[in-house]
Amino acid sequence: METQPVTVITGTRKGIGRFLAQHYVERGHIVVGCSRGDVDWSLENYEHVQLDVADEDAVRDLFGRVRSYGRLDHLINNAGVAYMNHSLLTPGSTVSAILDTNVLGGFLFCREAARLMQRRRFGRIVNFTSAAVPLKLDGEAAYAASKAAVVTLTEVLARELGPLGVTVNAIGPGLVSTDLIRGLSDEKLEQVLARHAIPRLATLEEVAGVIDFLIAPESGIVTGQSIYLGGP
C-alpha cells in the first residue's frame, strides 16, 4: 500500500482543478485527475484519466485504477459546467447536460470514492457548490438548481458516510478568475460581486486553503457543511 495520501480530483484540465492537482502533488499526494479533454501538462505523481464524469462505467474504471494504489484518502469533486441564460431561453438538453455533469457525475464519484474509503474507515470528500445557490442568481436557474442539489447530496451523504469515517463537505468558491466566469459581462460581474460580503474575486490559493482545512485529519468532525467564499 502507498504511504503517500492518494487524492482524486475531477476536472483537472484547467482552472481550479489544475491548480489543485499541482497544489496537492506539491504537498506529497499522489493525485489521480480526470477531464473530458486531454491535458497538455504533466506532473510527477499525477495520473490523468480522460472521461466524462457522468459515464458510470468509465468512473468505475477510474476507481479500479485508484484501487491499485491500495488506498484513497481524498476526493475533490471539482468538475462542473456553468450556463448563464434566462430560463425562457434555456433548452432542455442544456438542463440535462448540466445535471449530468454537476449532479450525476458528482454522485458517481462520491459513491465510488466512499466504497474505497470505507475499507480504512477514513476519507474526505469535498464537493463544489456555488454562490449562485444562496444568492439565488437570476439567469442561472438550471446551474443554481444543480448546485443546490450538490448541497443536499453533501448533507445526506455526510449522514450516510459519517459512521464509515468519511466526511463530506462542500465549497462554494465564489467568483474565481477562470473560464467558468468568462461568459459574464463586466456589468453582470460587478452586480454579482456587489452581493457578496467581500466583493472581490477569490484567488486559487484561497480556494485551496478551505479545501486544505476540510481534508485535514483534524477535521474529522466537520461534515455536511457548505462554505461560501466571499460570504453570503
Partner 1 sequence: MTTVWTSEKVFDEILLGLIEEVEEEVGEKIARDRETPLLGEGSALDSLAVVTFLVSVEEQIATEVGKEIRLVDERAMSRRSSPFRTLGSLSDHIEELL
Residues 148-177 that bind partner 1 (CB under 8 A): 163-164
CA 88 to chain centre: 28
Shortest CB 119 distance to partner 1, Å: 8
Residue of the chain from 118, 191, 203, 219 that contacts partner 1 (CB under 8 A): 118
**Is 74 in contact with 123 (CB distance < 8 Å)?**
yes
- Segment contacting partner 1 (CB under 8 A): 9-17, 113-121, 167-175, 201-209? 113-121
Shortest CB 193 distance to partner 1, Å: 44
* Residue 150 to residue 106: CA distance in whole angstroms: 8
Closer residue to partner 1 in complex, CB, 56/206: 56
Check binding of 4 to partner 1 (CB under 8 A).
no
Shortest CB 153 distance to partner 1, Å: 17
Q: Regarding beta strands 226-228 and 74-77, do their DSSP bridges make them parallel or antiparallel, or are they unpaired?
A: unpaired
> Residues 6 or more apart from 165 whose CB is under 8 A from it?
117, 118, 120, 121, 122, 123, 220
Q: Is 136 helix (H, G, I), strand (E, B) or coil?
A: coil
Shortest CB 3 distance to partner 1, Å: 22
Closer residue to partner 1 in complex, CB, 111/195: 111
Check binding of 64 to partner 1 (CB under 8 A).
yes
Shortest CB 64 distance to partner 1, Å: 7
- Segment contacting partner 1 (CB under 8 A): 12-20, 41-49, 114-122, 138-146? 114-122
Residue of the chain from 14, 36, 115, 188 that contacts partner 1 (CB under 8 A): 115
Q: What letter does residue 11 receive in the DSSP assignment?
A: -
Closer residue to partner 1 in complex, CB, 117/210: 117
Residues contributing to the site for partner 1 (CB under 8 A): 60, 64, 115, 118-119, 163-164
